[in-house]
């Protein structure tokens, strides 16, 4: 089982799809379109920021805890399902979920009480995870690391209004803080092997050569972890070479 991680707009869903096609595996995607809380969460952030700017130091986003609980429930169900069998890929995991609740608490969008309750719930879920599946953790965690500028370009490209800094200037601080939290998370993550992909350097969506370079990094790591055989690795490299020859 492979899990993807990374900041908003880093390309997790795109790389999940690419990997699933490459390795012939099932992909599990984070729910966005059927998420009724996400749009109102961003609106709540905007309202809370305005209230604090006007002097209300206790103003919070009333939807922050609701959103993180929604995501936590979905991610727990998703990873349980993926862990029931081999050869699955998730475009987001429960292992990075706390980043968002912690950050929202620091920014004043959630209260410490809400954060403590959330952490207790997450801890209970993580204790139950090994009993709900035949794996204790992913075989490989892949993080796509991108800069602030790259993140903004990709957010603009996918065009979700509630994610645009032009529409909500308070998102500038939110996104920059999120990047710093991900840097800390990458240093501290120890639940499984971790592979960091340079999302600024490699345009794995728009460039075939970059896509192959990223795939080969991942497949070399899977071989190192004894998750694919030497023969499988050689066959994949052969396919890559043929594809590069086709596209010139």
Q: If you ran DSSP here, which 8-state letter would residue 167 be given?
A: T
pTM over 0.85: yes
Same domain as 64, residue 87? yes
Same domain as 237, residue 153? no
Q: How far apart are the first and last CA of the chain?
A: 33
pLDDT of 78 > 80? The answer is yes
Same domain as 141, residue 90? yes
Residue recorded with tokens 């890559």:
240
Going by C-alpha positions, the residue among 32, 8, 11, 4 that lies closest to residue 200 is 11
Same domain as 229, residue 194? no
More confident residue, 231 or 8: 231
pLDDT of 132 > 80? The answer is no
Strand order in the sheet with 140-145: 26-28, 88-90, 2-6, 140-145, 194-198
Using a pLDDT cut of 90, give the percent of the chain over it: 58
- What was the pLDDT predicted at 49? 81
Q: For residue range 200-215, what is the model confidence (pLDDT) as tens digits? A: 999 999 999 999 999 9
Same domain as 236, residue 151? no
Q: Is 175 annotated as a binding residue?
A: no
Q: Is 9 annotated as a binding residue?
A: yes
Same domain as 247, residue 131? no
- Contacts of range 237-245, beta carbons closer than 8 Å, 24 or more positions apart: 240/212, 240/215, 240/216, 243/208, 243/212, 244/208, 244/209, 244/212
* Winning range, highest mean pLDDT, from 4-13, 131-140, 163-172, 219-228: 219-228
- What was the pLDDT predicted at 174? 85
Query: Is 91 a residue of the active site?
Result: yes
Mean pLDDT, the chain, rounded, equals 90
Instruction: Work out how many domains the chain is built from and give that number.
Output: 2
- What was the pLDDT predicted at 133? 66
d(C-alpha 227, C-alpha 140), whole Å:
10
d(C-alpha 200, C-alpha 203), whole Å:
7
SS3 2: strand
Q: Region 58-79: what's the mean pLDDT?
A: 90
Same domain as 139, residue 232? no
Q: Is 188 annotated as a binding residue?
A: no
Residue recorded with tokens 């490459």:
22
Q: Which domain holds residue 47?
A: 2-201
d(C-alpha 140, C-alpha 99), whole Å:
19
- What was the pLDDT predicted at 189? 95
Are residues 101 and 115 in contact, defined by beta-carbon separation less than 8 angstroms? yes
Q: Is 224 annotated as a binding residue?
A: no
pLDDT of 31 > 70? The answer is no
CA distances in angstroms from 8 to 23, 136, 147, 226, listed in the order given: 25, 26, 11, 31
More confident residue, 16 or 42: 16
- What was the pLDDT predicted at 134? 67
Q: For residue range 33-48, what is the model confidence (pLDDT) as tens digits? A: 778 888 888 888 788 8
- What was the pLDDT predicted at 157? 85
Q: Is 10 annotated as a binding residue?
A: yes
Of the candidates 34, 56, 91, 149, the residue annotated as catalytic is 91
């Amino acid at each position: 089982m492979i899990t993807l991680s990374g900041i908003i707009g880093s390309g997790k869903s795109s790389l999940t799809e690419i990997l699933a096609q490459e390795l012939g595996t099932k992909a599990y995607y984070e729910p966005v379109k059927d998420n009724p809380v996400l749009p109102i969460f961003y609106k709540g952030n905007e309202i809370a920021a305005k209230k604090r700017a006007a002097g209300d130091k206790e103003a919070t986003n009333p939807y922050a805890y609701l959103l993180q609980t929604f995501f936590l429930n979905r991610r727990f169900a998703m990873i349980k399902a993926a862990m029931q069998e081999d050869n699955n890929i998730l475009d987001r995991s429960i292992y990075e979920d706390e980043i968002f609740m912690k950050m929202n608490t620091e920014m004043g969008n959630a209260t410490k009480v809400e954060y403590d309750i959330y952490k207790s719930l997450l801890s209970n879920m993580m204790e139950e995870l090994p009993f709900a599946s035949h794996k204790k953790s992913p075989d490989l965690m892949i993080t796509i690391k991108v800069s602030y500028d790259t993140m903004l370009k990709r957010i603009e490209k996918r065009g979700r209004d509630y994610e645009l800094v032009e529409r909500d200037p308070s998102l500038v601080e939110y996104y920059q803080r999120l990047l710093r939290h991900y840097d800390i998370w990458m240093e501290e993550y120890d639940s499984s092997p971790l592979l960091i992909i340079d999302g600024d350097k490699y345009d794995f969506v728009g460039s075939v050569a970059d896509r192959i370079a990223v795939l080969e990094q991942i497949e070399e790591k899977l071989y190192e972890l004894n998750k694919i055989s030497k023969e499988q690795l050689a066959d994949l490299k052969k396919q890559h070479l043929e594809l590069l020859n086709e596209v010139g």
